[in-house]
Amino acid sequence: MIFYDCSTAPNPRRARMFIAEKGLEIETREVSIAKGEQLSEAFRAVNPRATVPVLVTDEGTVLTENMGIAAFLEARCPEPPLMGRTPDEKGLVLMWNAIVEQQGGLPIADTLRNSHPAFKDRAIPGPSNYAQIPELAQRGKDRVARFYDLLEARLTESRFLAGDEFTLADISAFVFVDFARVIKMRIPEGNAATTAWFENIKSRPSASL
Amino acid sequence: MIFYDCSTAPNPRRARMFIAEKGLEIETREVSIAKGEQLSEAFRAVNPRATVPVLVTDEGTVLTENMGIAAFLEARCPEPPLMGRTPDEKGLVLMWNAIVEQQGGLPIADTLRNSHPAFKDRAIPGPSNYAQIPELAQRGKDRVARFYDLLEARLTESRFLAGDEFTLADISAFVFVDFARVIKMRIPEGNAATTAWFENIKSRPSASL
């Protein structure tokens, strides 16, 4: 297998953590988004949609998107489970993962990509250019504030997002929360449950990769 | 089990099709978004995030988000498989489903919700109000045009999105393409592979529910 990673971007980090939590070591190639390598001809021969992460399986299947990579690895290497054991647990993991992507990951990306000069005309990842929309950056910040409320409410009632066990949903949320420093939206002071959950996950070896 | 549906909205329709493809009949309650019932106190006691679809399992687990409902049903009722059999297939299904959600579903929703008067201050689903951003409606249309290119390229080389079998990814894409009529973005004339794929799925009993 070959894993195409990017050390500075949140979505590859989610896949990197998932791989580490499975105890796997996969040959890894760095794709520097800072240098625009995801748009190179060489990389687009691997993934024409010009995004990382990518996992090429032993069968030669090219998997993009965190969901594609996670679903493959969970089926190929079931232990330890990161996407639930029972049907109800499996549902809760993908439910919370989707909530975290839509209410956390997307607004953080909206804010960064629609405000930072480095993303001028790069408001959306992929091969096509899109102009920044400044109103979307502000809306993103408003949404991230509400995302922190949502996280705190959930983590006050549950040890991890999908229940008692650490899962894919926690990986996604942890990576997005950590990345939100780039838009200066850290966990609000006083959000004790979220802070404790974050520090707990930060202490896992997979979080330091 | 109880399924909370809305007959006019695309996301509940995806879950409805998935349930029908599994051959299941689940007690269903209609939540009228046109009447704002998703924001009612009664429904928010079920789903505080005020979105449909929702599936309440026999164990009482409240599952929101299409991914949560699909993951649960696939584990609970494995046949016929709609999320792949092998690890590689499972990866491809969730990969294509994610691509379709991000490159198709989201821009269609962006266009509708940021332009239509019925969605004034309702640019994002859920309990909080957000003002419309007209630039986002235009960007959505540009993105949907590229989504149609992407679909046509994929369906020229593959019978269904994730391979030879009909899956969750086809359900998502079919529902979004059908819904794109509301923003007047039908399958472009000449996109023969997409048109054939669409008509094929439209003939399934689950598509008429």
**Nearest Cα residue to B16 out of B204, B197, B148, B155:** B204
Whether residue B91 and residue A57 make contact (CB cut-off 8 A), yes or no, is yes
- Residue of A64, A94, A136 lying closest to B95 (CB–CB): A64
Sort out which chain A residues have CB atoms less than 8 A from B156's CB and list them: none
Sort out which chain A residues have CB atoms less than 8 A from B95's CB and list them: 63-65, 67-69, 71
Among chain B residues, CA nearest to A76: B87
pLDDT by residue for chain B (209 residues), tens only, comes to 999 999 999 999 999 999 999 999 999 999 999 999 999 999 999 999 999 999 999 999 999 999 999 999 999 999 999 999 999 999 999 999 999 999 999 999 999 999 999 999 999 999 999 999 999 999 999 999 999 999 999 999 999 999 999 999 999 999 999 999 999 999 999 999 999 999 999 999 999 98
Phi-psi region of B84 (alpha: psi -120 to 50; beta: other; left: phi over 0): left
Write out pLDDT tens, residues A70-80.
999 999 999 99
Whether residue B139 and residue A128 make contact (CB cut-off 8 A), yes or no, is no
- Residue of A67, A73, A88 lying closest to B57 (CB–CB): A88
Whether residue B128 and residue A139 make contact (CB cut-off 8 A), yes or no, is no
Q: pLDDT at position A152, please? A: 98
How many Å lie between the alpha carbon of B101 and the closest alpha carbon of chain A?
Answer: 11
Whether residue B71 and residue A65 make contact (CB cut-off 8 A), yes or no, is no
Report residues of chain A scoring pLDDT below 50.
none
- Residue of A67, A76, A131 lying closest to B94 (CB–CB): A67
Q: How far is CA A129 from the centre of its chain?
A: 22
Phi, psi of A27 (to 5 degrees): -55, 125
How many Å lie between the alpha carbon of A191 and the closest alpha carbon of chain B?
Answer: 20
Whether residue B57 and residue A136 make contact (CB cut-off 8 A), yes or no, is no
How many Å lie between the alpha carbon of A98 and the closest alpha carbon of chain B?
Answer: 7
Among chain A residues, CA nearest to B53: A95
Instruction: State both tokens at A118.
Output: 């480095």
Q: pLDDT at position B63, please? A: 98
Among chain A residues, CA nearest to B74: A87
How many Å lie between the alpha carbon of A199 and the closest alpha carbon of chain B?
Answer: 26
For chain A, the three-class secondary structure string (H helix, E strand, C coil) is: CEEEECCCCHHHHHHHHHHHHCCCCCEEEECCCCCCHHHCHHHHCCCCCCCCCEEECCCCCEEECHHHHHHHHHHHCCCCCCCCCCHHHHHHHHHHHHHHHHHHHHHHHHHHHCCCHHHCCECCCCCCCECCCHHHHHHHHHHHHHHHHHHHHHHHHCCECCECCCCHHHHHHHHHHHHHHHHCCCCCCCCHHHHHHHHHHHCCHHHHC
Write out pLDDT tens, residues B143-187.
999 999 999 999 999 999 999 999 999 999 999 999 999 999 999
Q: pLDDT at position B64, please? A: 98
How many Å lie between the alpha carbon of B71 and the closest alpha carbon of chain A?
Answer: 5
A&B contacts, CB < 8 Å: 135
Instruction: State both tokens at B97.
Output: 């489903």
Q: pLDDT at position A184, please? A: 97
Whether residue A71 and residue B65 make contact (CB cut-off 8 A), yes or no, is no
Q: pLDDT at position A47, please? A: 97
Among chain A residues, CA nearest to B100: A65
Sort out which chain B residues have CB atoms less than 8 A from A76's CB and list them: 87
Question: What is the C-alpha separation between B10 and B33, in angstroms, rounded?
Answer: 11
Whether residue A91 and residue B97 make contact (CB cut-off 8 A), yes or no, is no
Claim: this prediction has a pTM higher than 0.95:
yes
Instruction: State both tokens at A78.
Output: 């079931």
Instruction: State both tokens at A93.
Output: 């993991």
Domains of chain B, each with CATH number or no CATH: 2-76 (3.40.30.10), 87-204 (1.20.1050.10)
Among chain A residues, CA nearest to B137: A133
Query: Coil, strand or helix: which one is B35?
Result: coil
Q: pLDDT at position B151, please? A: 98
Sort out which chain B residues have CB atoms less than 8 A from A139's CB and list them: 123, 130-131, 133
Whether residue B133 and residue A130 make contact (CB cut-off 8 A), yes or no, is no
Q: Do A14 and A171 meet the contact criterion of CB atoms below 8 Å apart?
A: yes
- Residue of A64, A72, A94 lying closest to B68 (CB–CB): A94
